[in-house]
Amino acid sequence: MATGSEAGKSAEAVLEWPKQDKKRMLHAVYRVGDLDKTIKCYTECFGMKLLRKRDVPEEKYTNAFLGFGPEDTNFALELTYNYGVDKYDIGAGFGHFAIANEDVYKLSETIKSSDCCKITREPGPVKGGSTVIAFAQDPDGYLFELIQRGPTPEPLCQVMLRVGDLDRAIMFYEKALGMKLLRKKDVPQYKYTIAMMGYAEEDKTTVLELTYNYGVTEYNKGNAYAQVAIGTDDVYKSAEAVELVTKELGGKILRQPGPLPGLNTKITSFLDPDGWKVVLVDYADFLKELH
């Protein structure tokens, strides 16, 4: 049986792994009611590419992966269509995805000329700042923030989720997943605080934008947005670290690490303290699956 100091040391070693692991944000998964319409919308309005599509008739669903670059270097959106289901509840917890573009005014005009997406906030500077943004809504009601930014290797730049305790969420993603707090901003006049979490600077990679609205500790998550997937060098070590952190901060392991039946890709999945699902994927297995 381990002594207190031995247990302490082993916990320390377990929590060292997320700091060393070369994690990368891979994709966000969510459900849509008309896959072909959404693919058309994202390619025509946002300029995304359809990267791959797979139909799984025995499970009655079809997936489509869309993004701005190949999946082995770029973040992607994984759209899921479940046979016969044409509507989902987005809920109040999911916020938006974000796309960085060099000319948000021009992009907004492109979107306005399409028949599948609509602009819900006209392009212009953010309140109290100079960054030009706009908001667009897709056929299922998902929001996309359009952010004016210089050339970037990753135009699909944010996944925004609302959380009930921002400091707890920051600590969870730092300790369990080795993310860095890139920026924190409190906006008291609008009663919210945001934290940008990621593995590289905001203009270089996809980040999680965690939003805390003053006094709101819980959100209805609906059944539309599913999860974010993150690549790891070792799902077993990563799951061990996540499990340890959930005991301290909340959340729970949903699927113990191991290969997926039929695919052999090793994964583990868990809920964070706010109930948002994350899937960790063995990165070498993920690359094999792509090629």
Nearest Cα residue to 286 out of 263, 261, 257, 256 = 263
* Residue 218 marked ligand-binding: no
Task: Give the H or E element holding residue 193.
Answer: strand 192-198
* Residue 96 marked ligand-binding: yes
* Residue 78 marked ligand-binding: yes
Give the span between the Cα atoms of 189 and 27, in whole angstroms.
33
Q: Please identify which residue in the block is written with the tokens 């965690």.
A: 210
In DSSP notation, 221-246 reads --SSEEEEEEEES-HHHHHHHHHHHH
Bridge partners, 253 (sequence order)? 270
122 catalytic? Reply is no
Nearest Cα residue to 64 out of 76, 82, 52 = 52
The separation between the first and the last C-alpha atoms of the chain, rounded to the nearest angstrom, is: 46
- Given the residues 6, 16, 102, 145, the one annotated as active site: 145
Q: Are 251 and 271 in contact (CB under 8 A)?
A: yes
Give the span between the Cα atoms of 273 and 176, in whole angstroms.
11
**Binding-site residue ranges:** 78, 96, 145
**Binding-site residue ranges for Zn(2+):** 78, 96, 145
Residues annotated as catalytic are: 145
